[in-house]
Structure 1
Amino acid sequence: MSDLSDLLLTPAEMAAVDAAAAASGIDSFSLMERAGSATAAAALRLHPGAQRFIVLCGPGNNGGDAYVAARHLQQSGAAVTLFHLGDPSRLKGDAARARAGCALKEQELGHYRPEAGDVVIDGLFGAGLGREVSEEVRALIGRVTEAAIPVLAIDLPSGLDGRTGKVLGAAFRAHNTITFMTRKPGHLLMPGRELCGRLEVFDIGIPARIVRAGASGVIAENTPEAWKGVLPAELLETHKYKRGHLVVFSGDADKTGAARMSAISGLKVGAGLVTIAAPRAAMAANAAHLTAIMLHAIDDEAELQSWLSDKRLQTFVLGPGFGIGARARGFASALAKRRLVLDADGISSFKDEPQQLYDLFQGEPRLVLTPHEGEYSRLFPDIAGDGALGKVDKAVAAARRANAAIVYKGADTVIASPDGRALINTNAPAWLATAGSGDVLAGIIGGLLAQGLPAFEAAAAGVWLHGEAAHRAGKGLTAEDLAVAVAPL
């Protein structure tokens, strides 16, 4: 992987980088030659036993890369059969030159019938596809998928949107994908991430300064580099209140476990003090399970308002196991001037009047919302229903509307800021999807907020640390195991 592996460029940004490289005097065909030769080398390395390489050439530069790959494969002595989409005589520029340099006889795409021992090299569309694939391509994808033919995709499996990771009608499921210079959001967003198979990034020689200049930096992968600069410095001598006091609200006596998961996680991630604020009827149930975490009785909004006269109380988690309804809305209203992670029942309590929530938290962002797909749809139904938007688009739109950091949960969790920044998380293992996992995440984010991290960075760091804890806990983890495995960076 190149030293640009930290970047994500949209297809439009990558096209601009290609144009800038050409404008700087770099021979664009030499870049295509390197891309095609890298593809051929990957095909030979990954599939040494292939009986026949089926090279699919599309109508643009992705097809040009495929023609170059076909030429190199033939010169290596491999059996190669070439299929084209559309009229290849209409190719222009580098793609036309690549076709002219390939001596193989072409066939129309619809003529391909899979055979045992085939390996498909997909050079139909790449990352720039912006419309649904044709019936001809859909049928081809169906035949290849049904026959379980291995696919090596050039840039991105054809049928995937490189910006959103969405399937545009149908898409190949690649065993491997080779892309150039840097990744696209569609490589990380679902279902694109799964359909890419194993991803390799190959440096074809565009100077890093040109690539970095073309990257907006608005969308990136969620790694420590995105937020470690705001982590609190570890001091040998510090007061516990300087490391923050996190308050987690407990539900009723029979629903106290979720709050404890959040509280333990907040403590483990470094908060100096953690208190569970519980109804009096739930104090005994909580006390039976707590040692390092304090307890405070709060039955109603009036008691909460009185307690908030202590200005050291600045950071709260509301929602896990709390119950849905007016009490949750009242508590959120009382906390409007503080930092708040609103999760689970807290989010659902505002499903009928989401604007009431957004109006409470204006000014400097201090609210973190952690919706899964269903909760997101309840809070932002119009945005959720817009089929033209990808997950990053939806997360950013929600963040702007709510003036909050949004953690749009899922296998491809996206963290978004009201200022338009978005991070795509990739380190969460599949076994993290377990009951209570979200309670742990809310506590981690709360613990980071309590230590002074801004809302967006606390949310992003929390999601990443959550994934790392899941790796430490291992397969078969429970939420209890996950909370124990939480650790600061």
Structure 2
Amino acid sequence: MKVVTAQEMRTIDQRTVTEYRMPSLLLMERAGMAVAQTVQQRYPDQLSRGVAVFAGKGNNGGDGFAAARNLLRTRVPVTVFLLAPREAVRGDARTNLEMFAALGGEIVEITTEADLPSLQSRLGHYGLFIDALLGTGLNSAVSGIYATVITLMNAQPAPTVAIDIPSGLSADSGKILGPHVWADCTVTLALPKPGLLLYPAARAVGELEIADIGIPLPLLHDPSLRLQLLEAEEIAGLVCKPRDPDTHKGTYGHVLIVAGSPGKTGAGALASLGALYTGAGLVTYALPQGLNLAMESRLLEVMTFPLPETGAGTIGEAAFSALEPLFSTVDVVVIGPGISAHPETGRFLERVVQEVDLPLVIDADGINHLARNPALLEAGEAPRILTPHPGEMARLVGLSTAAVQENRIEVAREFVQKYRGTYLILKGARTLVAGPDGHVAINPTGNAGMATAGTGDVLSGMVGSFIGQGLPPREASQVAVFLHGLAGDLAREEKGERGLVAGDILHRLPQALQRMHHLPPSRPAIR
């Protein structure tokens, strides 16, 4: 599913009207009907106490007027609190306001501070609020009477349904612009917006429903839209193809994991098992020779390959020559988990990046070494898939972690377009997958319990696994992050978020894959 900025959505609306001859009034009516239907389905017990619609003078307010009328005609008591003089409402919004009034709907203008005490005295009587104040066009902090009304709304226990986006949030980023509505449910129109999916703004969205308002399908799938939300059906289409009975372990890829150092041997073990548990046919774990025996006795299904090491017990520069024969027998290399910051290990990694003509998945310490010379990514033709967390990304691009988090999509897109042939998995809440063409996908799965050591190592092995099984780098990355998060969600269902560990995710990867074969008939709301 495409994800659109406020301007892209305006363009889609305009093209719907001009190219497909659909009246804008009809789009507003469809929006109002969708909101009214959501309210009736989700909150039937609150409706007898009445619904308060808080509306501005623009099209978001117009959607609110249409929702109010559709509720009123089913005998739900509705009051519209209009934060503008009635004569300031124009166009389709004015038409819907007049239709609501013609049905006998109550309209209360809130235009000055003097109107607030009366409003405050009434708010506790309503069973539900609808936020139709500002919509997606906001680009600065809410102030004045709007900010006061938002504060009054948030202070009440009544659930709030926001139309398109909770007022006070940026539609185009995860930024909170100032005072904002805390919604229990948001009904966004036609397509989701980035600000509904990215944190911290996503905390204020509640459950997200995406309403069909009749936009023609060619516009919803326009290839010029470069942001998407990953969906289970799409992932299932990539991983649920039945295996041919006449195959063998070599059919499903040989993944080489180059990882580990004293104290961090488990990183490579987790990556190796992440590859195996998602279907890799063969996995070899190459690690410092002094650590090999411990892993040989522990990882029964994984082959190990002892490497020359430094005096500190980390992978030495001579390891490159030792690995050269193996490079010709594997399909993909995962490098970096737990390899340490040792300078000689860094020189080894640089040779791998420059000279190995295989897909490379680079994680953790591997990224930290690359941060000293990211131009190495320009060497060779084979794809590189980097899997940084926000701190590692900050080191790669020379920004603060806060700056990365505030502009995740832009930072990811600029990086992959600078280093052609590079794919990026920017981990975190709503992990991003970015490709060289600037296309970015947002992953909806996963939870805060996954913020624990080793989960990223599991993910890097999964990416290598799906590349080894034949998926292109972009699709392999998208499948990996979706299933990784889904396995984390399955673990949370059983264990909760506190105390969840990387092994819990590993052991639920087969279950997550199986879940793709048995999808529910309809897509659930995004939480």
Alignment of 1:213-252 (within 5 A): 213=222, 216-223=224-231, 234-252=243-261
Where 2:182 maps in the other structure, the secondary structure is coil
Further displaced range: 20-29 or 218-227:
218-227
Alignment of 1:78-227 (within 5 A): 78-103=76-101, 104-108=106-110, 111=116, 112-113=119-120, 114-213=123-222, 216-223=224-231
Measure, in 1, the Cα distance between the counterparts of 2:504 and 2:402.
Answer: 36
1:407 aligns with 2:425: yes
Q: 1:83 to 1:479 in 2, by over 3 A?
A: same
Measure, in 2, the Cα distance between the counterparts of 1:365 and 1:19.
Answer: 42
Measure, in 2, the Cα distance between the counterparts of 1:280 and 1:459.
Answer: 30
Measure, in 1, the Cα distance between the counterparts of 2:92 and 2:404.
Answer: 35
1:424 to 418, 442, 463: 442
Further displaced range: 34-43 or 232-241:
232-241
Where 2:64 maps in the other structure, the secondary structure is helix
Q: Is the 8 A contact 2:4 2:193 kept in 1?
A: yes
1:323-371 Cα shifts (integer Å, max 9, x gaps): 12323422321212332222122222344x2xx2332444546211111
- Paired letter, 2:338: G
Match of 1:321 in 2: 338
Further displaced range: 9-18 or 102-111:
102-111
Where 1:205 maps in the other structure, the secondary structure is coil
Match of 1:3 in 2: none
Q: Is the 8 A contact 2:271 2:459 kept in 1?
A: yes
Q: Tell me, which stretches of 5 or more residues in structure 2 are unaligned?
A: 310-315, 517-527
1:272 aligns with 2:272: no
Q: 1:287 to 1:181 in 2, by over 3 A?
A: same
1:186-211 Cα shifts (integer Å, max 9, x gaps): 33222343322122233233333443
1:483 aligns with 2:506: yes
- Paired letter, 2:344: R
Measure, in 2, the Cα distance between the counterparts of 1:253 and 1:361.
Answer: 31
Q: Is the 8 A contact 1:319 1:328 kept in 2?
A: no
1:344 to 364, 382, 389: 364
Measure, in 1, the Cα distance between the counterparts of 2:61 and 2:8.
Answer: 20
Deviation at 1:444, TM superposition (A): 0.6
- Paired letter, 2:342: G
Higher helix share: 2
Deviation at 1:135, TM superposition (A): 4.1
Where 1:247 maps in the other structure, the secondary structure is strand
Q: 1:367 to 1:273 in 2, by over 3 A?
A: same
Q: Is the 8 A contact 2:391 2:401 kept in 1?
A: no
Further displaced range: 57-66 or 305-314:
305-314
Where 1:236 maps in the other structure, the secondary structure is coil
2:324 to 295, 308, 313: 308
Q: 1:48 to 1:97 in 2, by over 3 A?
A: same
Q: Is the 8 A contact 1:159 1:167 kept in 2?
A: yes
Q: Is the 8 A contact 1:414 1:423 kept in 2?
A: yes
Further displaced range: 475-484 or 455-464:
475-484
Deviation at 1:383, TM superposition (A): 8.3
Deviation at 1:462, TM superposition (A): 0.9
Measure, in 2, the Cα distance between the counterparts of 1:63 and 1:203.
Answer: 18
Measure, in 2, the Cα distance between the counterparts of 1:326 and 1:13.
Answer: 47
Match of 1:69 in 2: 67
Count of aligned residue pairs for this structure pair: 480
Measure, in 2, the Cα distance between the counterparts of 1:229 and 1:116.
Answer: 49
Q: Is the 8 A contact 1:383 1:394 kept in 2?
A: no
Deviation at 1:421, TM superposition (A): 1.0
Match of 1:398 in 2: 415
Deviation at 1:375, TM superposition (A): 1.7
CA RMSD of aligned residues (A): 2.8
- Paired letter, 1:282: L
2:46 to 30, 45, 49: 49
Q: 1:198 to 1:471 in 2, by over 3 A?
A: closer
Q: Is the 8 A contact 1:361 1:367 kept in 2?
A: no
Further displaced range: 237-246 or 367-376:
237-246
Q: Is the 8 A contact 2:175 2:200 kept in 1?
A: yes
Deviation at 1:64, TM superposition (A): 0.7
Further displaced range: 396-405 or 171-180:
396-405
- Paired letter, 1:357: P
Q: Is the 8 A contact 1:47 1:119 kept in 2?
A: no
1:10 aligns with 2:5: yes
Where 2:141 maps in the other structure, the secondary structure is coil
Q: 1:133 to 1:328 in 2, by over 3 A?
A: farther
Measure, in 1, the Cα distance between the counterparts of 2:402 and 2:451.
Answer: 25
Measure, in 2, the Cα distance between the counterparts of 1:399 and 1:380.
Answer: 11
State the TM-score, normalized to the length of structure 2. Answer: 0.83
Where 1:133 maps in the other structure, the secondary structure is coil
1:368 aligns with 2:385: yes
1:468 aligns with 2:486: yes
Measure, in 2, the Cα distance between the counterparts of 1:31 and 1:65.
Answer: 9
Measure, in 1, the Cα distance between the counterparts of 2:11 and 2:489.
Answer: 38
Q: Tell me, which stretches of 5 or more residues in structure 1 are unaligned?
A: 1-5
Q: Is the 8 A contact 1:366 1:454 kept in 2?
A: no
- Paired letter, 1:83: F
- Paired letter, 2:9: M
- Paired letter, 2:295: N
- Paired letter, 1:406: L
Q: Is the 8 A contact 1:305 1:334 kept in 2?
A: no
Alignment of 1:429-448 (within 5 A): 429-448=447-466
Where 1:163 maps in the other structure, the secondary structure is coil
Where 2:169 maps in the other structure, the secondary structure is coil
Further displaced range: 421-430 or 248-257:
248-257
Q: 1:359 to 1:135 in 2, by over 3 A?
A: farther
- Paired letter, 2:181: F
Measure, in 2, the Cα distance between the counterparts of 1:209 and 1:360.
Answer: 37
